[in-house]
A and B are shown apart, each in its own frame.
Chain A
């Protein structure tokens, strides 16, 4: 991500990022539970692959929060 374009996140963006973290978390757990339950190697492999992608998303979302941390104002803005 280009830091030159970085702006403080809006309250709405913060909500979407937090909701997205929750979505990815749930999906990862569902995929892990499916991989553990299923006897089918195709399903197990697919789930493992999805978990890797979703874990990457989760990491990106948390990083996005961290990158915007210092830009967030301490007082409410007009």
Chain B
């Protein structure tokens, strides 16, 4: 989610006395920022964990913290404390779809080149391991 923090302190002062430590909006935004940072750290910790029980614990905490971050974001959005960025234009979406299809097609071609004949090779290797065919890298334009 790419959202922009919107400062609307004026709209909020009606419910808060001037002696308040900080505006609700600022306090919640601080918590939201730290929840986002903590989710990132839990994700990293999960990928770096070696012990299965530690990994399981970090996975659960990643999910819990993501849920809390989402809940708080929704709460702030309902209270008009957060505004999403403006919608992407149709022409930009169209352009990206075209590029993505192109990328996808090239990726599939690459996989096809790399894996064509692999089924035969795998079968051959099972029967006669010494007769494995060399790969066709020389014909691959991506290596030229």
Contact = CB atoms under 8 A, between A and B. Distances in A.
A10 B31 contact: no
Given A34-B31, A38-B24, A39-B15, A19 B41 contact: yes
Contacts of A8: 51
Contacts of B38: 20, 23-24, 27
A37 B41 contact: no
A31 B78 CA distance: 19
Main secondary structure of the interface of A (DSSP, over half): helix
Nearest to B22: A37
B51 A60 contact: no
Interface string A17-59: 1011001101100110110011110110011001001100100
Interface size class of B (residues with CB under 8 A): 35 or more
Interface string B1-40: 0000000000000011100111010011011001101100
B16 A39 contact: yes
B61 A60 contact: yes
B91 interface: no
B57 A64 contact: yes
B53 A27 contact: no
Given A16-B48, A37-B27, A60 B58 contact: no
Top 8 closest pairs, chain A to chain B, by CB:
A16-B45, A5-B52, A34-B27, A7-B51, A1-B53, A23-B38, A37-B21, A38-B24
Given A6-B53, A9-B50, 6 more contacts: A16-B58, A17-B45, A26-B34, A37-B24, A38-B24, A50-B68
